[in-house]
Amino acid sequence: MSRVLIVSNRLPIHVRARGSHVEVHASVGGVATGLASVHATGDALWIGWPGETDELDLDGHAELERELARRRLVGVELPGRLVKGFYEGYANGVLWPLFHSMLESLPLSSDDFELYTEANQRFADAIVAHARPGDRIWIHDYQLLLVPALVRAKLPQARIGFFLHIPFPASPIWRVLPQRAELLRGLLGADLVGFHTHDYARHFAAALLHVLGLEVAVDRVRWHDRSVSIGSFPMGIDARGYSAIAEEPEVRDETERLRTGPEKLLVGIDRLDYTKGIPRRLLALQELLDRHVELRGLVRLVQVAVPSRTTVQVYRAMRQTIDELVGRIQGMFATASWVPVHYLHRALSSREVVALYRAADVMLVTPIRDGMNLVAKEFVAARNDEDGVLVLSEFAGAAGELSGALLVNPFDTRAVSDACHRALTMPREERRERMRAMRARVFAADADQWARGFLATLETASERSDMPPAAPGPVPLEGLALAKKRLVLLDYDGTLVPFDIDPLRAEPDQELRELLARLAALPDTEVHLVSGRPPLELERWLAELDVGLHAEHGLWTRPRGAETWSMARGIELQHRRSIERLLADFAERTPGARVEKKSVGYAWHWRAADPDFGERQANELRLVLQALCSNLPVEVLLGNRVVEVRPHGENKGTLATRLMLAASHDTRILALGDDRTDEDLFAALPRDSVRVHVGPGESLAPWSVPDWRAARGLLAEFAASVERTAGAPVEPPSSR
C-alpha cells in the first residue's frame, strides 16, 4: 500500500520547549483533525514546521527529533527571519487578505516574496528527501503554493495533490497580485488541485485563462506534458467525535449552567480575524435590541474571539474596534442585572466550546468571507438534541451544504438582525426539521470521507492524461514514404503561411503553390487543406490545385476534382443575432479587432490589436461567451489570435474521421496544425499517424516544428522521401 505524505505549514502538534525540556501535545480541530485518519493509516508521514524551537539546547533538539519520529512527523526548520517574512509578511500579510477579497487590507508594498519562495523550497526539499516511489504527496494551503512545482522539478513522476483551505478569489482580484503567474505555475505542479466549493474552482480556472492563457476543459487543464485535474471537495469534521463529546457528563453539566435563567443565548465562536465579521455581527445585535425592545433582558450574545496574530497591527486594530463596539452596546442596553454581550478574548478548551454549542439557542457564523467554516458543522454535530438554529453567512463555503441554516448577507446588518429574530421565535418543530437535515449532511460527509475522496481522486488523476509521451528525435517520415497509401491533412494559417494583420493578405505565395502541387502529384497520396476560412477564400486561392478543400473547420467540403461545395450537415447557430451583437461590441472596444461572419458561425480576429490588450479582451470575451452559451449547443474556441463561435458537433476531428472512413485500411496519415482547432484533428487520428504541431505551445501532437517555414521544409522533405521510394525524380520546390 502506498504511503501518504501530508505537508502543511504547521505540524499537528503544539511544542513547549526550553533548554532540554520538551513537551509535545496534539492539536485539535481544523486540518489536524481532518487528516488524523489519513496520518494514522500505514506508515504515513506528516511534514511541517514544529513551531519556535530556538530555546532548545542540543539535548532538547535531539529529544524533539525522537518525539517527532515516534509520531511519524518530519520537522521543517524555519529560522526566525524566515518565519517573519514568509509566514507573517507574505502568506498572512499579502495572500490572506487577497484570497479573502479584502484588498483594502493589502500592504502598500511587500518585499517578502523571496522569503516565501525560500521557505517553500525548504518544504519541497524535505518532501524530496523523504519521498519514495509510489507515495501520494498531499500539500495543504496558501502558505505552500509554490511547493507542487518545486517537488515536480525534482520528482517528475510523483503523485502530487494540493488542497486550498481558504477561498480562491475571483480573477480580477487575483490579477492584483504581482506574483500571480508564478503562484499559478506553482500550483500546476500538482496532479490534482482541490477546493472547498465549485465557485473557488471556477475562479481558479478563470485565473488560469486570464493570466496564463490556459483553457480548462470542464475539470482538467493541460500543462506541459501533463493533465492537471481540478475539483471541489467540501471538507468535513469528525462529526461522531463532537457528538460523543457532547454527551460527556462534564459537558452536559456545563451546558446546564449556561442555560440557567430565562435568557436566550446567541453564540459566536471565531478566531480574531477581520474575515470573520465580528464587528458587523455586533452591529446586528445592536439593531436587534434597538428594534425589538421586548428582547432586552432576555437575549445575550456570548462572543468568543480567540487571539490571532497578535503582533500584526491590523489585528491589534481589529481587537480595539471590537472592544469599543462591545463597550458601546453594553453602555446602550445593559442594566444592573443584565448585560447583552458576554465577550471572551481567549481560547477555550474543546469541551468548553462543545458546551457552548449545546447551550446555544442561535449559533451565529457570519464571516464576510470564509473557505468553509468548520464551526458551523461542529455546532450541528454537537446538537444531539436536534435543536438550535444556525444563522450562516452566504459567503462561507458551508452555505452550499447546510440547507437547514438561515442564510444571510453579513454586510446587511438589518438582514442579520431579522434572521436572529426569526431564529429566536422559530417553532420547535421547524428547528428540529432544519437541524435533522443538516446533521444528515454533516455525518455523511465527514472528515474521513473528505480525505478518502480527495486521495481516491488523486490516485486516478495522476494516472489520467490526455497527453501522449513526448516523442524524441526528428519527425519520422520514412514510415510514411514506405506506406502503400498516404493521407496528408494540412491547416493553412500559421501552418503553411505566416499570420497577417489583414487575413485577406495571407494568400499563398508561389513557393507554397508549387509545394502543394508537388504533394498532390505524389503517388498514392491524398492532400487535404483543412482551414477555418470561408469557402470562397480557399476557392479563390487554391481551386486549381488537385487537393481537397475544407472550409470552416470541415463544415464545408470541396473534394478533389469537384467544382462545388457541400455542407457536412444542416446545422444552425442558435441566438446568432445576440452573439453577433456581443462580438461587435467587443470589437468596438478593442482597436484593431474585427468580426468575421461565417455561414454558421463567427470569428473574432484580433491580429491587428495591441498584443497584450487583445489577449486580455479575447480571454474576457471567451469567458462571457461561455457563460452566455452554457446551455446552448454552441462551442467557443480560443485560437491563434482569434475567438471562434460555432455549433457543436462539427470540427476538424469529425472531418478527419470521415476522411479516414473513406480511406483504405493501409493508409498512413501525416497531419500538421498550429492552434486549438487542430487539437480536435490530432485527437481523432490514430496513434500511428504522424502528428506535427507548428509553433510554440503544448499540443497532443507528439512532434513539433518551430514555425511555418519549418513546416514547409518538413513537407518538402516528406515529398522527396516519397519520390525516392517511388523512384520518381526529385524536384525541389522553387525558392522564390
Q: Which of 238, 491, 674, 678 is catalytic?
A: 491
Question: All 3 cell numbers of residue 580?
Answer: 453577433
With cut-offs at 50, 70 and 90, classify the pLDDT of residue 616: confident
Burial readout 147-166 (b: 16 or more C-beta within 10 A, e: otherwise) = bbbbbbeebeebbbbbbbbb
The reply to whether 546 belongs to the active site is no
With cut-offs at 50, 70 and 90, classify the pLDDT of residue 462. low
Selection from 162-166, 457-461, 468-472, 493-497 with the highest mean pLDDT: 162-166
Q: Which residues pair with 390 in a beta bridge?
A: 363
* Per-residue pLDDT at 473 exceeds 70: no
For residue 470, pLDDT beyond 50: no
Closest among 457, 454, 456, 458 to 159, alpha carbons compared = 458
CA pair distance 438, 402, nearest whole angstrom: 5
Each residue of 238-251: pLDDT tens digit? 999 999 999 999 99
Q: What is the pLDDT of residues 414-455, one digit of tens each?
A: 999 999 999 999 999 999 999 999 999 999 999 999 999 999
pLDDT surpassing 50 at residue 308: yes
Residue 371 amino acid letter: G
Going from the C-alpha of 265 to that of each of 8, 348, 627, the distances in angstroms are 36, 18, 44
End-to-end CA distance of the chain: 65
Alpha-carbon distance values, 486 to 220, 451, 652, 656 (Å): 34, 51, 18, 13
What residue type is assigned to position 457 of the chain? Answer: T
3-state secondary structure of 218: coil
Instruction: Please provide the size of the chain in residues.
Output: 736
Looking up cell 518585499 gives 111
Reported confidence tier of residue 224, pLDDT bands at 50, 70, 90: confident
If you write DSSP's letter for every residue of 254-271 in order, what string do you get?
HHHHHT-SSPEEEEEEEE
Whether the predicted pLDDT of 104 surpasses 80: yes
Q: What's the confidence (pLDDT) of residue 571?
A: 58
What per-residue confidence (pLDDT) applies to 471? Answer: 54
Asked if residues 605 and 498 have their Cβ atoms less than 8 Å apart, the reply is no
| Confidence grade of residue 61 (pLDDT, cut at 50, 70, 90) | confident
- Going from the N-terminus, what domains does the chain have, and what CATH number goes with each? 4-232 (3.40.50.2000), 239-445 (3.40.50.2000), 478-568+650-726 (3.40.50.1000), 576-647 (3.30.70.1020)
Q: Can you tell me the distance from the alpha carbon of 105 to that of 113, in angstroms, rounded to the nearest whole number?
A: 17
Separation of alpha carbons 187 and 216, rounded Å: 14
* C-alpha of 363 from chain center: 31
134-189 confidence digits (pLDDT tens): 999 999 999 999 999 999 999 999 999 999 999 999 989 999 999 999 999 999 99
Answer yes or no: is pLDDT of 48 > 80: yes
Question: Where do runs of H (alpha helix) occur along 663-707?
Answer: 676-684
Decide if pLDDT at 715 tops 80: yes
**For the residues 610-623, what does the mean pLDDT come to?**
80
Alpha-carbon gap, residue 28 to 374, rounded angstroms: 12
pLDDT at 736: 32
How many angstroms separate the CA atoms of 89 and 82, rounded? Answer: 9
Q: pLDDT for 662-690, tens place per residue?
A: 888 889 999 999 987 888 899 999 988 99
Percent above pLDDT 70 for the chain: 93
Closest C-alpha to 211, from 232, 183, 231: 183
Give 729 or 725, the one with higher predicted confidence: 725
pLDDT at 734: 44
At 623 the pLDDT is: 81
pLDDT of residue 466: 46
Tell me the β-bridge partners of 637. Answer: 644
The x, y and z cell numbers of residue 1, run together, are 500500500
Could you give the CA distance from residue 505 to residue 14 in angstroms, rounded to a whole number?
Answer: 70
Residue 688: C-alpha distances to residues 255, 325, 670 (Å): 72, 73, 10
pLDDT of residue 287: 97
Give the closest residue to 180 by CA, choosing from 152, 201, 148, 204: 204
Helices 350-359 and 374-382: angle between axes, nearest 10 degrees: 70
Alpha-carbon Rg for the chain in angstroms: 32
Q: How far is CA 721 from CA 303, 478, 481, 670, in A?
A: 81, 7, 6, 13
Average pLDDT (348-375) is: 96
10 Å Cβ neighbour count for 498?
11
Higher-confidence residue of 658 and 122: namely: 122
Q: Which residue has the higher pLDDT, 229 or 698?
A: 229
Q: In the structure, what pLDDT confidence band is assigned to residue 733 with cuts at 50, 70 and 90?
A: very low
The model's pTM is 0.72
pLDDT at 197 over 60: yes
Q: What pLDDT, on the 0 to 100 scale, is given for residue 93?
A: 92
- Given a cut of 60, whether residue 601 has pLDDT beyond it is yes
Contacts 24+ apart (CB under 8 A), 660-667: 660/487, 660/684, 660/685, 660/686, 663/485, 663/487, 663/526, 664/484, 664/485, 666/483, 666/484, 666/485, 667/483, 667/484, 667/485, 667/486, 667/487
pLDDT at residue 730, rounded to an integer: 46
The pLDDT value recorded for residue 100 is 95
Q: One-letter amino acid identity for 443?
A: F
Q: Three-state DSSP class for 489?
A: strand
What average pLDDT does range 208-233 have in this prediction? 84
